[in-house]
Structure 1
Amino acid sequence: MTSELVVDVQSKEITIAVLEDKKLVELQQEDQNESFSVGNIYMGKVKKLMPALNAAFVNVGHKKDAFLHYLDLGVEFNSILQFQKLVEDKKKIPQLQKMKLQPDIDKDGLISDVLKVGQEILVQIAKEPISTKGPRLTAEISFAGRFMVLIPFINRVSVSQKIKSREERARLRQLIQSIKPKNYGVIIRTNAEGKRVADLDAELKILVKRWEDCIGKIQKAKAPSLIYEETGRTVALLRDIFNPSFEQIHVNDSDVSKQIAEYVNLIAPDRKNIVKEYKGALPILDNFGVTKQVKSLFGKTVTFKNGAYLIIEHTEALHVIDVNSGNRNKSKLGQEESAYEVNVAAAEEIARQLRLRDMGGIIVIDFIDMNKGEHRNMLLSKMQELMSTDRAKHNILPLSKFGIMQITRQRVRPEMEIATSEVCPTCFGKGKIKSSFLFTDTLEGKIDYLVNNLKVKKFSLHIHPYVAAYVQQGFFSLKGKWKKKYNANLKIIPNQKLGFLQYEFYDRDGNEIDLKEEIEMK
């Protein structure tokens, strides 16, 4: 299996697509001004204690106060409070290695025993704001790297359970114990398996430096304020999924391309040449077939094999997926074998959809009924195998006697939702439009206005691929006619995101020129 990463950087948002054997398996979209991302560290102020929930609401600057449960304080919370007192002395910077750690907090304690309203505390975003809820917090500060997670204020070293070899687990634990500074804890990630001491030591020093850089900010901080901002989503995603199967990383922005290249050079110097800056005329997501796959994969109905399809419904409480065989030909197989075959194919698509849409919480799947217990067990094993590469924590229950499978999947970010239906760009949903034959006249009018009124001579016109083909067809094409008539440097760009009668103009620097207007139809 080969993997590619496609990064589309726009003025308002960044889109990151992961392709495995050219199939879209993961999609992330992040606003350029996105804040309160998982991993960010804040100096927050306790706004309200909730004894009934054994939790507190903390102001970190979000419009909704963030939620902090007692169990998320971390056993080392007393040491963090002690450290905050030490940094109040602004004449010197305390060193964690020389600090005496405090006793662990009581696991069965009360929030009111350790916090009070108005108190300033150091917290980290554990779950982004979702729907009407504010961020979910943890007071157990950590810094994630490719091979390990660094946790200040504890002395433990633990190893990922996915590393099965006893010898390797012992080697890694002993190695990290010998190189880590005092009063730092480390969780060794699966990617560390088989790595040399030099690689692990280099990353450990980087993570320790991140914490030390935070100390100066903590001394000057006044709640609520940002102390540490997690690495950009592009690099953070790359950190978690990077593996030797990556063949190419395509980026359409020079700055982000350099940022990714520097990170790849840091973690895998021999692979630094896989980062490529995309300079093609077509939108990058169209060029790599991402836009077309998004249009077909994010709707309510998803077709997956020989006419079989899924119906995916989302509610506030859970997600429901119904498996249907459609008009599939069953003549060669009996009903039982046919149901099993459809269910296995559906499981493959469902595992992909869970990652793609980042669906979390409770997922209920209604598979086609199967009578044989052997088939039900094989389907469960298949689903477990398919989801073994899913980085989100999940739990899969066996099929019930009604053919229902229940899955719980960790959710730390809002679910990905993309509208695949298009509103008519001419009537804006009113049901009446001008004749489509006049569309090219509209485009020519806009070009005339651009050249003669706005004095723009070099620009590109983004239109639907079918319209682009019509405009550029023949030796005496409309495009050629417009370029000659208006003496303009015009470039036609087919754009799959646009509807049939939609258009967008961009200047020579790639900035959109807003010439669209809504015409009231009567």
Structure 2
Amino acid sequence: MTSEVIVDVQPKEISIALLEDKRLVEFQKEGRSASFVVGNIYLAKVRKLMPGLNACFVNVGYERDAFLHYLDLGPKFNSYTKYLKQVTSDKKKLYPFSKASILPDLEKDGSVQTTLQQGQEILVQIVKEPISTKGPRLTCELSFPGRFLVLMPFQDKVSVSSKIKSAEERARLKQLIQSIKPKNFGVIVRTVAEGKRVAELDSELKVLVKRCEDAFIKAQKASKLPELVFEETSRTVAMLRDLFNPSYENIYINDTDIFSEVKDYVTLIAPESAGIVKQYTGKLPIFDNFDVTKQIKSSFGKTVSYKHGAYLIIEHTEALHVVDVNSGNRSKSKDGQEANALDVNLGAADELARQLRLRDMGGIIVVDFIDMNLAEDRQKLYERMCENMKKDRARHNILPLSKFGLMQITRQRVRPVMDVNVDEVCPTCFGKGTVKSSFLFTDVLESKISTMANKLGIKNFTLHVHPYVAAYINQGIVSLKRKWQVKYGFGLKVIPSQKLGFLQYEFYDKNGQEIDMKEEIEIKH
């Protein structure tokens, strides 16, 4: 199986697509201004205590206060609080971590009222992004994740991932980390650390300890609260850190800065793989070039087709996701209804496992499969679903089919579900219901180009249009494009873009910034 990562960097957002054998299996899109990311650490104030919930609300700068439960304070909360007071009392010099005193663990059945006070300053880390009407979810058990290790201040334990099965290797890693870790730090050894040498683990441990110290220095110098003291690495690097494996063949990026950032990161963690990071410089939009746009349009939305006319209907409610499996216009199997139902259901299990990763669907997912009478077929479907979900990094739990033929799945949810709108807004009527003749569309484009070249004085620009329209503009020896270039300058380029509707268009300047020349803007001229 070949894996490739395609990163599309736009002025307002970054999109990351993971392809396995050229097929889209994971997709993440995030605004470049998005702030409340899982892993960020804030120095913040307790806004309100909620004794009934044994929790409190904390102001981290989001429109809704973040939620912190008593059990999420962590057993080492008293040690944290004491060290934070020592750090903030002396603004010049950081109190050494190794000298911090470890206080007794917090009682599990204690009360938030006796532990916290309104207005108290605490260090909190986001464990769940704001979802729907809820603010972020917090913890006080801080962690600094790396590729091989996760560093946890004030813990003193070394844990090894349960996915490392070899008892010998587990013992080696545990002993190795015990010998190199600084005092007052706990470490979780991740699965990818299996077989790694001490030098690699030691260099990452030093980087993580430095990050932790820098976070406390920022807290020490904070002037106004809430203050972001540790920011999770950029979305691209964070996703690569969790996903990265040696089977990657290529990582293509269409932005110079992000390319350098990712190249530096990959060189640091896997020098032998540095060559797989490549900058994309083609004329076509990067997602169009790698056939990602088409897959996004066919994979998102309410109805998803898979094989031989069968399809899934995916509905999202406040409480859960509901998936209905339909055989569609599929012809009956020669082997009868039972074999037909099994075949449709197995195909649905394959597609559903992909959809869960692709949309990052979390919480409760209920799937209504086509009814099957034989117990061995129902077991076969359950085993197929479990096998498909092994590739999923999110924690999940799958129950066998119930007596009603429903399968229930729970999947870890740390950020809102990926909801990509694949319906295209009418680009010419803007919802009015009437459109100009499509035959006159090229006249509209020419008037825009004339405005750009003659009134606005922009000579170098790119026009993005639907591939059919681009083909029409470029056809013939003396094409429309050539006529426009002679008339308005050879700085004009025409690029086909699959993300655009039939009569949609976008103009970009030589730096890749969009120039807004839509119909409504034009009225003002």
Same fold at TM > 0.5:
yes
Letter in 1 for 2:169: E
Q: Whole-Å Cα distance in 2 between the matches of residues 331 and 118 of structure 1?
A: 68
Structure 1 equivalent of residue 391 of structure 2: 389
Kindly indicate whether the alpha-carbon contact (under 8 Å) linking 1:252 and 1:284 is maintained by their aligned counterparts in 2.
yes
Kindly indicate whether the alpha-carbon contact (under 8 Å) linking 1:128 and 1:414 is maintained by their aligned counterparts in 2.
yes
Q: Secondary structure at 1:24's aligned position in 2?
A: strand
Range moving further from structure 2, 161-170 or 127-136: 161-170
Q: Whole-Å Cα distance in 1 between the matches of residues 372 and 194 of structure 2?
A: 40
Q: Secondary structure at 1:178's aligned position in 2?
A: helix
Q: Whole-Å Cα distance in 2 between the matches of residues 216 and 251 of structure 1?
A: 34
Q: Whole-Å Cα distance in 1 between the matches of residues 302 and 415 of structure 2?
A: 21
Structure 2 equivalent of residue 15 of structure 1: 15
Alpha-carbon displacement from aligned partner over 1:229-268 (angstroms, at most 9, x marks no partner): 0000100000001011100000000010000000000010
Structure 2 equivalent of residue 438 of structure 1: 440
Structure 2 equivalent of residue 465 of structure 1: 467
Alpha-carbon displacement from aligned partner over 1:95-142 (angstroms, at most 9, x marks no partner): 112222111000111111110100010000111111111110000000
Kindly indicate whether the alpha-carbon contact (under 8 Å) linking 2:333 and 2:339 is maintained by their aligned counterparts in 1.
no
Kindly indicate whether the alpha-carbon contact (under 8 Å) linking 1:317 and 1:362 is maintained by their aligned counterparts in 2.
yes
Q: Whole-Å Cα distance in 1 between the matches of residues 162 and 346 of structure 2?
A: 28
1:439-458 residue pairs with structure 2 within 5 A? 439-458=441-460
Identical-pair percentage:
68
Q: Secondary structure at 1:316's aligned position in 2?
A: coil
Structure 1 equivalent of residue 109 of structure 2: 108
Kindly indicate whether the alpha-carbon contact (under 8 Å) linking 1:426 and 1:518 is maintained by their aligned counterparts in 2.
no
What is the deviation of 1:370? 1.2
Letter in 1 for 2:328: G
User: Of residues 284, 291, 294 in structure 2, which corresponds to 1:292?
Assistant: 294
Gaps of 5+ in 1: none
Q: Whole-Å Cα distance in 1 between the matches of residues 143 and 494 of structure 2?
A: 49
Structure 2 equivalent of residue 261 of structure 1: 263
Kindly indicate whether the alpha-carbon contact (under 8 Å) linking 1:55 and 1:68 is maintained by their aligned counterparts in 2.
yes
Q: Whole-Å Cα distance in 2 between the matches of residues 350 and 46 of structure 1?
A: 41
Kindly indicate whether the alpha-carbon contact (under 8 Å) linking 2:219 and 2:227 is maintained by their aligned counterparts in 1.
no
Letter in 2 for 1:301: T
**Residues 1:157 and 1:481: Cα distance change in structure 2 (over 3 Å):** same
Letter in 1 for 2:152: I
Q: Whole-Å Cα distance in 1 between the matches of residues 312 and 405 of structure 2?
A: 15
What is the deviation of 1:373? 1.3
Kindly indicate whether the alpha-carbon contact (under 8 Å) linking 2:285 and 2:497 is maintained by their aligned counterparts in 1.
yes
Q: Whole-Å Cα distance in 2 between the matches of residues 519 and 175 of structure 1?
A: 65
Q: Whole-Å Cα distance in 2 between the matches of residues 512 and 85 of structure 1?
A: 49
Letter in 2 for 1:58: V
Structure 1 equivalent of residue 140 of structure 2: 139
Structure 2 equivalent of residue 314 of structure 1: 316
What is the deviation of 1:333? 2.3
Letter in 2 for 1:84: L
Q: Whole-Å Cα distance in 2 between the matches of residues 172 and 353 of structure 1?
A: 36
What is the deviation of 1:198? 1.5
Kindly indicate whether the alpha-carbon contact (under 8 Å) linking 1:96 and 1:153 is maintained by their aligned counterparts in 2.
no
Letter in 2 for 1:217: K
Letter in 2 for 1:23: R
Letter in 2 for 1:85: K
What is the deviation of 1:89? 2.1
Letter in 1 for 2:358: L
User: Of residues 333, 336, 351 in structure 1, which corresponds to 2:335?
Assistant: 333
Q: Secondary structure at 1:305's aligned position in 2?
A: coil
Letter in 1 for 2:28: Q
Structure 2 equivalent of residue 237 of structure 1: 239
Letter in 1 for 2:79: S
Kindly indicate whether the alpha-carbon contact (under 8 Å) linking 2:254 and 2:280 is maintained by their aligned counterparts in 1.
yes
Kindly indicate whether the alpha-carbon contact (under 8 Å) linking 2:13 and 2:31 is maintained by their aligned counterparts in 1.
yes
Q: Whole-Å Cα distance in 2 between the matches of residues 96 and 334 of structure 1?
A: 70
Give the CA RMSD over aligned residues.
1.3
What is the deviation of 1:418? 0.8
Range moving further from structure 2, 333-342 or 59-68: 333-342
What is the deviation of 1:519? 9.1
Structure 2 equivalent of residue 212 of structure 1: 213
Alpha-carbon displacement from aligned partner over 1:374-410 (angstroms, at most 9, x marks no partner): 1212211211111112111111111101110001111
Q: Secondary structure at 1:338's aligned position in 2?
A: helix
Q: Secondary structure at 1:518's aligned position in 2?
A: helix
Kindly indicate whether the alpha-carbon contact (under 8 Å) linking 1:291 and 1:496 is maintained by their aligned counterparts in 2.
yes
Alignment of 1:367 with 2:369, yes or no, is yes
Alpha-carbon displacement from aligned partner over 1:435-472 (angstroms, at most 9, x marks no partner): 11110000111111111111122211000000000110
Kindly indicate whether the alpha-carbon contact (under 8 Å) linking 1:427 and 1:519 is maintained by their aligned counterparts in 2.
no
What is the deviation of 1:520? 12
What is the deviation of 1:278? 0.6
Structure 1 equivalent of residue 65 of structure 2: 65
Q: Whole-Å Cα distance in 1 between the matches of residues 92 and 21 of structure 2?
A: 57
Runs of 4+ in 1 over 6 A off after TM superposition: none
Q: Whole-Å Cα distance in 2 between the matches of residues 154 and 259 of structure 1?
A: 31
Give the paired residue count: 521
Structure 1 equivalent of residue 43 of structure 2: 43
